[in-house]
Amino acid sequence: MIRLTKNTAALFSNRRKICREFVAVAPVRFFFDVVVGFVKSILELFVFILPIKIVLIIAAPEMPVMFDKVLPGFSRPEWAGILTGLIVVLHIVVLIADWYLKKSAESYTEKFAVQHKKGRFADSDFLTSVYTGIVDARGGSLLLVALSGVIGLVYSEFLLFFALAVSLSVLGVIALASVSKRFAESFLARPPAVLGKVSNLVFISCFCYLVYAFILSEQPPEFLQAIVAIILSRRLLAALSQKVGDLVWFRKKKAAIQKLFYRGHAALPQGAGRSRAFIDSVSRESLPAFVARVMDSLGMDSGRLRGCGWVESPLPWMSLVQCSLASAGAEAPDETLVLKVYELNKARTAKNELELYPELESQGIIPTFIGMAELDGYQVHTFKLSNDWAFTRDQDAIVGLRRRLLPLNFDQALLEEYCSVHPTLMDRLNQSLLSRLDLMANSDERELLDTFIEALPAISEAVRALPLKLLPPDPVLKQLAVRDGEAVFLLGLGDWKLEPVGFSLWPSDSPEEIAEHLLSSGAVTEGLDIEAVVSHIRLCTLFAELERHCRSGRLREGLKVVGRIIEMHEFQMGEGQGMAVTA
């Protein structure tokens, strides 16, 4: 229970810190929005209470005295009409306040994006919801104070009982959560379900207290006191439940909320203002001049530049800039350029990507590539897209993009140059790496390992017969997939590599479909059937798994993979002998 209390206190502290950072972006707007939100909550409460007053006027045998004290001289029908009109007016004001708060949140999002160099903010809806939630939370705090004050003025004894009931309920929930992990998980998963039951219990307790006060108390309250207290207590419980729900939501989204303050990409939190990153070396005012220099170096007319801004990059080693160009002709549409600026330590990555661009562009895998420029040590790749392009997280689109990488055939000179510098899978599985398995092997496993190493040259021939496939890192493939209209492109490759087909298979990959494509395109040795190619692909997958286990130190798992490789090899040899005998 003490640990749970400490975690809750730390969560409150962290939330307060993030709220201060949000306020710092636009303090005047934030303060005004909180006041508007608070007033809106009060008006909503009046809209809820006034129909009850109208019912009292209509149903009471005589006109209630409290209305004559406010505005004497009005008849019962007149009061009913006045209050009905007031409900309509207040509801219209509430709708106007809602509209204002929505527009204000959108304006705040734009200012936040400019201040944190995000430009086309990829998750503006989430930022808007966070800001709206913080404004509502601050307004809710004011509402709690106001409602508590009114209840205390009207019926102080009831307020004391209400506070006692809420305190006991909170202690009970904390105690139950500390001893029951299942209850704690269900509360964090669905806070409204638990809070609703607790609120109902507290409300029933308060109602029982009123019944006791009217019947058994020596000084029973007035009827108006009881009505006001019970109505406001219900609204007070709803406000408390909302506060707790907001706190649980913040706990779930804390990491995502903190990333909102990163400038440009996740490697630059708010406190890193003097980093050497490109986004910090170029100010907002000097960004157009930098883009104009890039356009000049590419032979483009920089006078067509209309505007440019940052685009939040999903990866930490590059920054993105989007530019709008005036149309070249009277009827031609405006053009959009996307500049991909690599950080200084990623110059080699930029040059390696450049080698594959011609083949990738011809296959429609990357957008139209304008050219490469180098300014102030930064490598800049420029692409042409439409203004409606956006990053996509659609799994089907990403899987389809990955499948389009399979049929790529690269120049033999490029393959030879790559392999001369970067050993492929079977070259890396050498005696030095496999000797690590001997450290965990018993006598039987050591005999199995000796058999494997002896047969390795013959086994590896099946993998070496497979063509090399382009493999961008999975995070790059998932983060840099963009949709432009109906087309899906890849905006970069990262530190790509070439490995045999089967080195990295996703759950969506089908070895049979890959084998059919390799056979139809003539990418494998003639004379192999589809079963043999599938077997080679699965064997390559096992070798890749063996390499990962050896490098990560999971030697026991590596020995199990060795056994599976030998079994598959013996099965292939048995099938081959059977086919020879049949022939």
pLDDT in tens, 100-153: 999 999 888 888 877 776 666 556 788 888 888 889 888 888 988 998 898 888
Query: Are 473 and 519 within one domain?
Result: yes
Distance of CA 152 to the CA centre of its chain: 44
Q: Report pLDDT for 2.
A: 65
Contacts from 221-230 at CB under 8 Å and sequence distance 24+?
221/155, 221/157, 221/158, 224/66, 225/154, 225/155, 225/158, 226/155, 226/158, 227/52, 228/150, 228/151, 228/154, 228/155, 229/151, 229/154, 229/155, 229/158, 229/159, 230/206
Query: Are 50 and 87 within one domain?
Result: yes
Of 480, 446, 476, give the one whose Cα is nearest residue 559.
Answer: 446
pLDDT in tens, 238-276: 888 888 888 888 888 877 777 777 666 655 555 545 567
Residue 76 lies in a domain: yes
Q: Predicted confidence band at 65 (pLDDT cuts at 50, 70, 90)?
A: low
Q: Looking at residues 195-218, what average pLDDT do you find?
A: 85
Query: Are 253 and 117 within one domain?
Result: no
Lowest mean pLDDT across 31-35, 71-75, 188-192, 324-328: 71-75
Query: Are 528 and 405 within one domain?
Result: yes
Residue 298 lies in a domain: yes
pLDDT in tens, 140-185: 889 889 988 988 888 888 889 989 988 898 888 878 877 878 878 7
Q: Predicted confidence band at 313 (pLDDT cuts at 50, 70, 90)?
A: confident
Last residue of a domain, one of 226, 261, 296: 261
Residue 446 is part of which domain span? Answer: 395-582
Query: Are 256 and 333 within one domain?
Result: no
Q: Report pLDDT for 581.
A: 35
Cβ–Cβ contacts within 10 Å for residue 132, how many?
17
Query: Are 57 and 107 within one domain?
Result: yes
Q: Report pLDDT for 272.
A: 47
Query: Are 495 and 423 within one domain?
Result: yes
Q: Report pLDDT for 472.
A: 92
| Total domains, the chain | 4
Q: Report pLDDT for 543.
A: 93
Query: Are 459 and 564 within one domain?
Result: yes
List Cα–Cα distances, 441 to 253, 447, 552, in angstroms: 46, 9, 16
Question: What secondary structure, in 3-state letters, does 213-279 show?
Answer: HHHCCCCCCCHHHHHHHHHHHHHHHHHHHHHHHHHHHHHHHHHHHHHCCCCCCCCCCCCCCCCCCHH
Last residue of a domain, one of 87, 122, 157: 122
Does 583 score more than 50 pLDDT?
Answer: no
Would you say 312 and 119 are in contact if contact means Cβ atoms under 8 Å apart? yes
Q: Report pLDDT for 488.
A: 93
Q: Report pLDDT for 46.
A: 85
| Phi and psi torsions of 323, nearest 5° | -125, 145
Does 455 score more than 80 pLDDT?
Answer: yes
pLDDT in tens, 333-373: 678 899 999 988 899 999 999 999 999 999 899 999 999 99
Would you say 501 and 543 are in contact if contact means Cβ atoms under 8 Å apart? no
Query: Are 447 and 571 within one domain?
Result: yes
Residue 426 lies in a domain: yes
Q: Report pLDDT for 443.
A: 79
Residue 466 lies in a domain: yes
Q: Which residue has the higher pLDDT, 456 or 192?
A: 456
Q: What CATH number corresponds to the domain at position 290?
A: 3.30.200
Q: Report pLDDT for 245.
A: 82
H-run or E-run covering 148 = helix 124-154
| Phi and psi torsions of 379, nearest 5° | -85, 130
Q: Report pLDDT for 582.
A: 36
Would you say 231 and 207 are in contact if contact means Cβ atoms under 8 Å apart? no
pLDDT in tens, 510-555: 888 888 888 887 777 766 788 888 888 999 999 999 999 999 989 8
Q: Predicted confidence band at 66 (pLDDT cuts at 50, 70, 90)?
A: low
Instruction: Using a pLDDT cut of 90, give the percent of the chain over it.
Output: 18
Q: Report pLDDT for 282.
A: 79
| Phi and psi torsions of 217, nearest 5° | -75, 145
Q: Predicted confidence band at 496 (pLDDT cuts at 50, 70, 90)?
A: very high
Query: Are 299 and 448 within one domain?
Result: no
Does 96 score more than 90 pLDDT?
Answer: yes
Q: Looking at residues 219-240, what average pLDDT do you find?
A: 82
Q: Looking at residues 277-300, what average pLDDT do you find?
A: 84
Residue 206 lies in a domain: yes
Alpha-carbon distance 416 to 419, whole Å? 5
Query: Are 315 and 444 within one domain?
Result: no
Does 92 score more than 90 pLDDT?
Answer: yes
Lowest mean pLDDT across 68-72, 115-119, 188-192, 412-416: 68-72
Q: Report pLDDT for 451.
A: 86
Residue 1 lies in a domain: no
Q: Report pLDDT for 61.
A: 65
* The pTM of the whole model exceeds 0.75: no
Q: Report pLDDT for 388.
A: 85
Residue 130 lies in a domain: no
Q: Which residue has the higher pLDDT, 64 or 36?
A: 36
Q: Predicted confidence band at 60 (pLDDT cuts at 50, 70, 90)?
A: low
Q: Report pLDDT for 223.
A: 73
Last residue of a domain, one of 203, 234, 261: 261
Length reported for the chain: 583
Q: What is the mean pLDDT of the chain?
A: 83
Query: Are 326 and 466 within one domain?
Result: no
Torsion angle of C-alpha atoms 157, 163, 165, 171, degrees rounded to 10: -150
Collapse the DSSP code of 502 into the 3-class scheme (helix H, G, I; strand E, B; otherwise coil) and give the result.
coil
Q: Report pLDDT for 233.
A: 87
Residue 381 lies in a domain: yes
Alpha-carbon distance 122 to 438, whole Å? 50
